Structure 1
Amino acid sequence: LLFDNCLSMKSQKPELQQKQWAPAQYNSTGVSQAVAPPPARHPAQNGQQTRAPVPPSQYNGPPGQLQLPQAYQSHPPPHPPQSHPPPHPPQSHPPPHLPQSHPPPHPPQSHPPSHPPQSHPPQGFPPPQPPQSHPPQGFPPPQPPQSHPPQGFPPPQPPQSHPPQGFPPPQAPQRHPPPPPTQGYLQQPQGYPAPSTANYQPNQLTRSSAQQPGIHQMSPPANIRSPQQQQRSLHPDQMPSAVHVLEDDLRRFQASASLSSSGTCHYESGPANIGRPPPLVTSVDRLIMTDCGSSLPTFMRPTLSSVPRTSDLLKSSGGLAMGLIVAPMMPATKSGSGGSVAIATSGLGGCGGGGEDSIVRCIRCRAYMSPYMAWLDGGRRFQCGFCGARTDTPQSYFAHLDQTGCRVDAAYRPELRLGSYELPAPGLEYRRGDRATFNESPPPGIVFAIDVSYRAVHSGLTALVCDHLRRRLPAFLPSETAPDGQTRISPRVGFLTYDRSVYFYNLSASLSQPQSLIVSDLEEPFAPLGAAISGGFLVDLSSSATLIDQLLESIPQQFAGTAVSDIILGPVVEATLDAFTSCGSVGKLVLLHTGLPTCESAPGKLLQRDNRKLLGTEKESSLLSPVGDYYEALAKRCSDSGLGVDLFVCTDAAYADLATLGQLPFITGGSLYKYASFRSDTHGTQLASDLELAVSNCLAFDCSMRIRTSAGISCSDIHGGFNIVGEGILEAGAFSSDRAVAVELRHDSKLADDDAEPVLAQCALLYTGLSGHRRVRVHNLALATTGQLADMYRSADVDATLNLLVKAALKLLLKKGPLEARSALVSRCVGILTAYRRHCVSAGSSIGQLILPETLKLMPVYVNAIVKSDAFQGADISTDDRSYLMYLCSMMDAVASNVYFYPRLMPVHHLPPSREADDESDSDEAQDGVGDGEESDSADLCELNLKQIRCSVDRLKQNGVYLLENGIVMFLWLGSKVSSTWLLSVFGVNSVANVRCDQTELPRLDTPASRLIRRLVDEIRLRRRRHLRLYIVRPGDKFESWFLNFLVEDRASDFSTSGEGWGSSYVDFLLHVHKEIRSKLG
């Protein structure tokens, strides 16, 4: 209110006409203070800052309220919309009680624009309108007439006789406190103050275009535009911040923890939180998660925790996704049950008889036992919570009921009290085609297939892999305890090499040295050793350790002088598949490959079809789609036989057609890795680490997964690879711990109006463990139902929603091209926000306000980052890199997709190596990431209390050091004015110019700072389950433009050539979304 009075006062006092006003801020007494917004920080040339840093938000009201412009406000949806009285006419006199203790700020210095006006608007934004003599609604009046309107803004509207839309009418000061927060979410105000109106310069509104040099063209920081050139009427600090949201989400649980006796951050998945969205993915690792009858969000994360009762209600949301992100083998983190899934050995109805009837299941839908089964007739029957059928309880599983209708033994049976549990699957569990799967089978096998062609040998790949396996295989080969609880069982191992032939090796313990058998028949490849186990192909590691050591030592010597350049791939997979099926075993094939299969006589030969000119055009889908159906059919055969494939592609600069070869890991459930311009001296550590993680993270083989849902809801589609064999059913040869699928749900009928009857979802994964025994892992999830659109928005999860939308958009990209895929994402974002504004916001709100739902207020910044990411718009990278990123995004879980599209940027220079270094750093830098109100505790790695900052170049300082990681790559950016003491402690040099940027690992120095930074890097790699290669970047280096490309809140470097405006900054994209919403609202 006082802010509006200040505007009225400004119109009466000429001396205030030139002052630029910011949104009101509040001091500890609750009195508002108008201050001038200082320009944003940026890494200026030679480390000099030409303007003051942006101050932190000083709002001391209820927790979680952000001080943002009224036109860009987010708040929880109200329950029923309430009407508001019409605004009062504007006052013609200044407010009588302007606080005297807070004088108006000095006017900011005016700077002329440094570049001539543009003659065209940014691509993808509305065309300019003829200049008018009045300002657009909600925006400041323009300066003297320009030759063009401001780029990226909606066309001007006719003048109005009432106050600008988005400003509340002047009211008397209120003394009562703000309303309490909505249950489950913190209450936000009903609108953000509109942009400042003073000193409005149309040609300074948007970022530089192609003709203007600047940071958004990926030039070195020395050429970054001056602060005057970066002025905009909407400051990024006034926009919803991803970092603030992550911080507020964790604060919700910390507030409840402070009231508890233990003081620990706790989250219970069960009836207490049904209908509420789970913690954000960045908060999960910071909480103690307890399974209280519903699966943890680590395993099953819903897009909506309150499911609409009708399909019409879902359609009215404008595009809200109804689905699940399922990662059944994901390791539990900080679980109250000890960090692992409970083994429910008591969930069997039979007593040694074996067979499928030994597991208690619904007689109709075959659902496994869950806490949501209703017990009838004193426990003699139970009613299925999924289909409603009643099943007789086996006599061996019978138990009496207590006075509440629950079984008296429920506390001792994990399947009756937990959302996630495992059961042994005894006897003949199921048949897949003509192959029967039994409980007791040979332990799984892991085969390492090593390329020994000319390129592999001369790049060092062959020697590197052989040496690492010889030294480290016993250390990283996974194992598990046998059913007897005493012995440890590990998978059997096998080795083969290939160029244009396949070389099998007999490693039977009875031999004195390895035997080699060559398969040169590539038309019908086979395993020459007969039964793989009895023939010595798959052997126990400990029994044949001497022979394995001899083999791995001799392979590099045997092929050192090879001249074979043609290689095969399909026959290698077929021969390995024959070896597994001959002995009835399952397992994984680890392929270490170098390039395009070009052998003329071999099936699966691929031709050179790379044409980078097609990237970024509508024809790129033909380049990014698999060619032929050979590898897809081969992958399905492997999946059906229980064989997973991990593919490590170690290429030189040549094309390898990953779009086609990637089908092998994508469908079989394996992992994909790519190393461009591979050399053993530069990529050796990364490859060795990834190899260890890929082998140790796979604990499930020969998998079959099924999604069951309550009556009225069914599975419509599954995204994320694997072999889809039916509605809600998929098969995989292996299931890595980091693989996740996105499941779309649909309405089959109207759901019951009873709020007490939840919607249930069950994921059952049947698999073979490392010991060779069959198990079934069950995850149960309970969701509330609702008939109100506001409840749907209140329960939406932005991480799960965007993970599902990305995977669906990648499918669309391969069918209809990149423009359709990106347009679909933006249109769905606009549709969701428009429906919220139309149905969930009070009618009295001005159309000039962009009001965002609390749970989805980060959707614009995330969608903007997605559409300009390399996975959707990588025209400046190789075709194989583009295919590689698309495959990775299709396999990611919600955590990985979140960090990939919005990277973690953390200052690390405030970690003092010593007392002297801490004293040398200036006080501002020592507190960077702590005191400016823009960081979050959500990225607290290694208990170092690191703070995350927003992904923008404006946040970088030349005397700072910043670590950026996105789950795939990692950068350490060094400013030109970094402390010499810090450099000595971490790099052993006293100047940034002396730092070696060609090294991919930090020097191992015996200093506190060196140990802390290296520990941080190692922890990030461990959490991402992938070895992130580290790039050390200095200002002006060749990798700096690549680093700056991950600052997703800034404009992309190829904005002018990306087409349709894909690549705009966060501010410009939000303006575009606002314009589209206003257009839809009429």
Structure 2
Amino acid sequence: LLFDNCLSMKSQKPELQQKQWAPAQYNSTGVSQAVAPPPARHPAQNGQQTRAPVPPSQYNGPPGQLQLPQAYQSHPPPHPPQSHPPPHPPQSHPPQGFPPPHPPQSHPPSHPPQSHPPQGFPPPQPPQSHPPQGFPPQQPPQSHPPQGFPPPQPPQSHPPQGFPPPQAPQRHPPPPPTQGYPQQPQGYPAPSTANYQPNQLTQSSAQQPGIHQMSPPANIRSPQQQQRSLHPDQMPSAVHVLEDDLRRFQASASLSSSGTRHYESGPANIGRPPPLVTSVDRLIMTDCGSSLPTFMRPTLSSVPRTSDLLKSSGGLAMGLIVAPMMPATKSGSGGSVAIATSELGGSGGGGGEDSIVRCIRCRAYMSPYMAWLDGGRRFQCGFCGARTDTPQSYFAHLDQTGCRVDAAYRLELRLGSYELPAPGLEYRRGDRATFNESPPPGIVFAIDVSYRAVHSGLTALVCDHLRRRLPAFLPSETAPDGQTQISPRVGFLTYDRSVHFYNLSASLSQPQSLIVSDLEEPFAPLGAAISGGFLVDLSSSATLIDQLLESIPQQFAGTAVSDIILGPVVEATLDAFTSCGSVGKLVLLHTGLPTCESAPGKLLQRDNRKLLGTEKESSLLSPVGDYYEALAKRCSDSGLGVDLFVCTDAAYADVATLGQLPFITGGSLYKYASFRSDTHGNQLASDLELAVSNCLAFDCSMRIRTSAGISCSDIHGGFNIVGEGILEAGAFSSDRAVAVELRHDSKLADDDAEPVLAQCALLYTGLSGHRRVRVHNLALATTGQLADMYRSADVDATLNLLVKAALKLLLKKGPLEARSALVSPCVGILTAYRRHCVSAGSSMGQLILPETLKLLPVYVNAIVKSDAFQGADISTDDRSYLMYLCSMMDAVASNVYFYPRLMPVHHLPPSREADDESDSDEAQDGVGDGEESDSADLCELNLKQIRCSVDRLKQNGVYLLENGIVMFLWLGSKVSSTWLLSVFGVNSVANVRCDQTELPRLDTPASRLIRRLVDEIRLRRRRHLRLYIVRPGDKFESWFLNFLVEDRASDFSANGEGWGSSYVDFLLHVHKEIRSKLG
């Protein structure tokens, strides 16, 4: 009987061979088309023909389709019977990143007969004798995981993102068998990006017609084996999407009279998503009536007209990312574009003759979207619709189009962003309105002088740096007269278990020390004369300041005080500012947990790392008590911001509680693990300069206004929220951003010509002490179509809002709820798109992604396995620190943190010697046609980013990875000796010192360019990124590999289903969930 069956199957083989199809070809709408079968050849030679994708602005059809392996299609195809050996030898090593196949059964079934897979699929693999190079041995799993996920791996601890690792690495990338190409399993087509479209992914070979209707045989391959046909190069690539976005906007930018191309943020681009955050720095941005995306970035550029339409999207967020003090950049050079200042005045809104013209009802500031009536005698508000009489001093006639004749000369009528002077008392907050004259803001440096601070070198380091560099980095502002430069006043105090004030009045011959030991009710001891003794002009008291900073390390060199305070320091400083009606910032340089018994704000040791990664971790990561929260709100009300530098050793400092001071007051937070002045000195000094120089706004009040039918429902990102869409802060650092959630109050008008308006007004005190208001206006289109919402979605703004909302949820309900708040919208958005925007004839085996959101899966997967959301192997303080940072980030910082920049740098500078000893293909992938100038910046060098995967690393290459917090320089084992000599002064990788945090200063072009590149990255991130030099097998390599977010996390099995999975695993999981929701 078995022999007869074999004969019968053998006779059917020619018929099966005649029914083979050619690979499917896709047109611009994503519909597959049958073509004539090509001549038989190896699957690696069958190049797929694709057409270029339509740009999003012109795209009307369905987006690119993601063809998943057969295991995830509705009908898995069976394997035809085998009558001859497979055409390719079996593979002894599984593909990199996948687990070995299950061991064979001890008694294999005698029937059905053996079969081989369809054409283009690899044959069944024999049992693996040893794991791939660089990975630990794996044990056969005891149970099968859910479909779409590989067997769980043994948990491995990994260091935090931004902190040194506690142990040796677990893996390192294997060297490629041939130079220039990563190792590929036999039987698979080699990856090729020549014809790759980032929004299209197809099967590696064609299917045979009719086979999918048959039942699968008993010996069908496991899902893990079938999953291997999905190669990472076939998935949407973040790198390709970012490059395509830049090219598209550069090609579509408006051509100015000077021949340069500008991106215009105005009526010309209303309803279209702005450039991605990675493209903004490379474009020349022009304000043409709507705020630049640097200041206000919407999640949807086309707002749905009803709340039901928004709900039907499955999770699309409607909101704004607002960074009002962010410095705008132009032409990729990183230079600042000054906000234009308007001298707008009049008697509108019921004010005096010199008040600002505003809407009489909603108090909105002037914008290009006000309608002028009655020949210019009245204007209609674009936000609430109220009509306000135009002040006589602000009146102007209208032209034939209904616009004011002076619109071209009034900045508030033609720009989306502008500033106004606000000298009236109505624009002062609190008790500051009682002072006739506003003094310049003050900056106070509070230096810890306890035993821990002195012996770690913190006290001496800070005093020495301030003495040498304070005049250089203290910011200044031009006075209203246009000639005088005004800088903030400065003050100094030290503390351990008491507070030491210093009188630095210019009339004294030497500094005077005043000690406050009353910790129950701390106060400023200088009384009414504090404005002349504690806060002083830097130039007038330069000699006394120099004497003080030189004497402090000597005075406390032999201290034995180990108990420290913190709350009384802030309270005493707050009393000093309120006594003279001044505003400003307090810079705290602190070393540990406040443990003084008699001081308010004492904290107890409550660290329990066993709770991290469990549902009880929210109690550990949440602030304890309400003292520091109430103190931070008092500081915000009084116009005092707080910057906190936590320079602790390995001891617990309760960053979750202390971090409320900068989080609510609008300051910045910095933390240095195991601080030592010799290792962290440069980093602390640089961060201190950036923190002081980047804060230009004090005593802030910000309000978000929206047009009728839309309102602000919530604000994420810190600060003191005092009302709907209203927040207050003692200061507003330039790198701080908030995420604003919007909601529908009523149905929007069906008129396409009536946009939705949003206005951010920030009232603040500048460095000169004068009040100003910075206004940002944004116009958005409305739509009644779900497809328009998807076309206008912005992935960067969406993820920033989702992350900040999820972090707030983590503290309330735990980590699983927070991660689900990220994954569920991802699945829901793609499900709704498949249900409502894709033709019914599309195959269920295709994962179809919207053009604007095709990076949503890779970004969400990187977020849920980041240390901010699941860092169970890091310290509690490190986890809290990362959570605070993510909550305060703008869209640029969050993008680079969750998907780090990985760039090959071994071809800097381009030279014949380097090209001769390195792979030429790598040169084309790594560096473009950049200039060879030693002073070139990132844009001039034209560095090419590569995907964050270990498969992209080559042993003859050098790669720079940065995520906005930390930076790595990874050296392959076969790096050119010429490159090593020019950068490190050694001829072997083994001789490179990996304990150094700065590159050697050599007089070579390569050394100058690499150091220039590192400095440029630190400047752009507005933070000193500590550099780690990594070699294969070093202790830092496992930490470095954790940032390759497209790979599987080392502790995958410890994270539950899906957490820590690779990009491939997560994409298959998302597709499985979509198919489940669609039935």
TM range (shorter): 0.7 to 0.9
Residues 1:954 and 1:986: Cα distance change in structure 2 (over 3 Å): same
Residues 1:34 and 1:70: Cα distance change in structure 2 (over 3 Å): farther
- Residue of structure 1 in register with 2:181 after alignment: 185
1:902 lines up with 2:899 in the alignment: yes
Residues 1:439 and 1:206: Cα distance change in structure 2 (over 3 Å): farther
CA distance in 2, matches of 1:558, 1:209: 77
Indicate the SS of the match to 1:411.
coil
CA distance in 2, matches of 1:168, 1:10: 62
**Do the aligned residues in 2 keep the contact of 1:385 with 1:760 (CA within 8 Å)?**
yes
CA distance in 1, matches of 2:161, 2:735: 48
Number of corresponding residues:
1076
**Do the aligned residues in 2 keep the contact of 1:317 with 1:835 (CA within 8 Å)?**
yes
Moved more, 956-965 or 929-938: 929-938
Shift of 1:430: 3.6
Shift of 1:537: 0.3
Residues 1:1033 and 1:194: Cα distance change in structure 2 (over 3 Å): closer
**Deviations, residues 958-985 of structure 1 (Å, cap 9, x unaligned):** 1111000000000001111111111111
- Give the CA RMSD over aligned residues: 13.2
Residues 1:207 and 1:434: Cα distance change in structure 2 (over 3 Å): farther
**Deviations, residues 657-714 of structure 1 (Å, cap 9, x unaligned):** 0000000000000000000000000000000000000000000000000000000100
CA distance in 1, matches of 2:7, 2:580: 82
Shift of 1:925: 3.7
Shift of 1:214: 39
Residues 1:662 and 1:188: Cα distance change in structure 2 (over 3 Å): same
CA distance in 1, matches of 2:505, 2:664: 32
Residues 1:891 and 1:192: Cα distance change in structure 2 (over 3 Å): farther
**Do the aligned residues in 1 keep the contact of 2:663 with 2:718 (CA within 8 Å)?**
yes
Indicate the SS of the match to 1:266.
strand
TM-score (norm 1): 0.81
**Do the aligned residues in 1 keep the contact of 2:601 with 2:628 (CA within 8 Å)?**
yes
**Do the aligned residues in 2 keep the contact of 1:482 with 1:489 (CA within 8 Å)?**
yes
**Do the aligned residues in 2 keep the contact of 1:940 with 1:947 (CA within 8 Å)?**
no
Shift of 1:436: 2.3
Residues 1:1077 and 1:217: Cα distance change in structure 2 (over 3 Å): closer
CA distance in 1, matches of 2:551, 2:159: 84
**Do the aligned residues in 2 keep the contact of 1:78 with 1:790 (CA within 8 Å)?**
no
**Do the aligned residues in 2 keep the contact of 1:493 with 1:541 (CA within 8 Å)?**
yes
- Residue of structure 1 in register with 2:909 after alignment: 912
Indicate the SS of the match to 1:1031.
strand
- Residue of structure 2 in register with 1:65 after alignment: 65
**Deviations, residues 180-221 of structure 1 (Å, cap 9, x unaligned):** 999999999999999999999999999999999999999999
Indicate the SS of the match to 1:685.
helix
**Do the aligned residues in 2 keep the contact of 1:349 with 1:360 (CA within 8 Å)?**
yes
TM-score (norm 2): 0.81
Residues 1:24 and 1:807: Cα distance change in structure 2 (over 3 Å): same
Residues 1:438 and 1:230: Cα distance change in structure 2 (over 3 Å): farther
**Do the aligned residues in 1 keep the contact of 2:613 with 2:870 (CA within 8 Å)?**
yes
Shift of 1:513: 0.6
CA distance in 2, matches of 1:795, 1:48: 30
Structure 2 residues not aligned, in runs of 5+? none
Residues 1:504 and 1:44: Cα distance change in structure 2 (over 3 Å): farther
**Deviations, residues 928-959 of structure 1 (Å, cap 9, x unaligned):** 43699999999981511110000000100111
Moved more, 1020-1029 or 211-220: 211-220
CA distance in 1, matches of 2:85, 2:364: 54
**Deviations, residues 887-933 of structure 1 (Å, cap 9, x unaligned):** 00000000000000000000011224754333332423433436999
Shift of 1:113: 20
Indicate the SS of the match to 1:470.
helix
**Do the aligned residues in 2 keep the contact of 1:38 with 1:53 (CA within 8 Å)?**
no
CA distance in 2, matches of 1:127, 1:703: 67
Moved more, 1052-1061 or 553-562: 1052-1061
Shift of 1:843: 1.5
Shift of 1:848: 2.1
**Deviations, residues 61-101 of structure 1 (Å, cap 9, x unaligned):** 9999999989999999999999999999999999999xxxx
Indicate the SS of the match to 1:531.
helix
Moved more, 177-186 or 956-965: 177-186
- Residue of structure 1 in register with 2:712 after alignment: 715
CA distance in 1, matches of 2:1050, 2:174: 44
Shift of 1:152: 1.8
Shift of 1:107: 24
Shift of 1:800: 0.2
Q: Percent identity?
A: 98
CA distance in 2, matches of 1:175, 1:628: 43
CA distance in 1, matches of 2:680, 2:166: 65
Residues 1:273 and 1:77: Cα distance change in structure 2 (over 3 Å): farther
**Deviations, residues 114-156 of structure 1 (Å, cap 9, x unaligned):** 9999999999999999999999999999999999699526999
Moved more, 522-531 or 23-32: 23-32
**Do the aligned residues in 2 keep the contact of 1:375 with 1:382 (CA within 8 Å)?**
yes
Moved more, 862-871 or 426-435: 426-435
CA distance in 1, matches of 2:525, 2:676: 33
CA distance in 1, matches of 2:456, 2:906: 37
Residues 1:178 and 1:111: Cα distance change in structure 2 (over 3 Å): closer
Moved more, 760-769 or 141-150: 141-150
Indicate the SS of the match to 1:785.
strand
Structure 1 residues not aligned, in runs of 5+? 98-102
1:503 lines up with 2:476 in the alignment: no
Residues 1:89 and 1:327: Cα distance change in structure 2 (over 3 Å): same
Shift of 1:353: 13
**Do the aligned residues in 1 keep the contact of 2:761 with 2:773 (CA within 8 Å)?**
yes
**Deviations, residues 329-371 of structure 1 (Å, cap 9, x unaligned):** 0001118999767666655333x99859610000000000000
Indicate the SS of the match to 1:591.
strand
Indicate the SS of the match to 2:884.
helix
CA distance in 2, matches of 1:976, 1:163: 23
**Do the aligned residues in 2 keep the contact of 1:935 with 1:950 (CA within 8 Å)?**
no
- Residue of structure 1 in register with 2:491 after alignment: 494
Residues 1:845 and 1:938: Cα distance change in structure 2 (over 3 Å): farther
Moved more, 144-153 or 517-526: 144-153
Moved more, 62-71 or 844-853: 62-71
CA distance in 2, matches of 1:983, 1:687: 29
Residues 1:207 and 1:543: Cα distance change in structure 2 (over 3 Å): farther
Shift of 1:396: 0.3
Indicate the SS of the match to 1:949.
coil
Out of 314, 319, 335, the position equivalent to 2:315 is 319
Residues 1:1030 and 1:450: Cα distance change in structure 2 (over 3 Å): same
**Deviations, residues 530-573 of structure 1 (Å, cap 9, x unaligned):** 13644410000000000000000000000000000000000000
Residues 1:248 and 1:176: Cα distance change in structure 2 (over 3 Å): farther
- Residue of structure 2 in register with 1:100 after alignment: none
Residues 1:725 and 1:214: Cα distance change in structure 2 (over 3 Å): farther
CA distance in 2, matches of 1:4, 1:699: 88
CA distance in 1, matches of 2:824, 2:120: 13
Shift of 1:846: 1.9
Residues 1:353 and 1:261: Cα distance change in structure 2 (over 3 Å): closer
Residues 1:467 and 1:56: Cα distance change in structure 2 (over 3 Å): same
Indicate the SS of the match to 1:436.
helix
Superposition map of 1:393-412 within 5 A = 393-412=390-409
Residues 1:175 and 1:840: Cα distance change in structure 2 (over 3 Å): farther
CA distance in 2, matches of 1:45, 1:355: 79
CA distance in 2, matches of 1:264, 1:114: 74
Residues 1:142 and 1:1002: Cα distance change in structure 2 (over 3 Å): closer
**Do the aligned residues in 1 keep the contact of 2:313 with 2:832 (CA within 8 Å)?**
yes
Shift of 1:446: 0.2
Moved more, 896-905 or 34-43: 34-43
**Do the aligned residues in 1 keep the contact of 2:162 with 2:966 (CA within 8 Å)?**
no
Moved more, 856-865 or 256-265: 256-265
**Do the aligned residues in 1 keep the contact of 2:442 with 2:583 (CA within 8 Å)?**
yes
CA distance in 2, matches of 1:463, 1:690: 16
Residues 1:339 and 1:752: Cα distance change in structure 2 (over 3 Å): farther
Moved more, 716-725 or 248-257: 248-257
**Do the aligned residues in 2 keep the contact of 1:400 with 1:407 (CA within 8 Å)?**
yes
**Do the aligned residues in 1 keep the contact of 2:180 with 2:954 (CA within 8 Å)?**
no
Shift of 1:499: 0.3
Shift of 1:328: 0.1
Moved more, 647-656 or 524-533: 524-533
Indicate the SS of the match to 1:412.
coil
Shift of 1:1056: 1.1
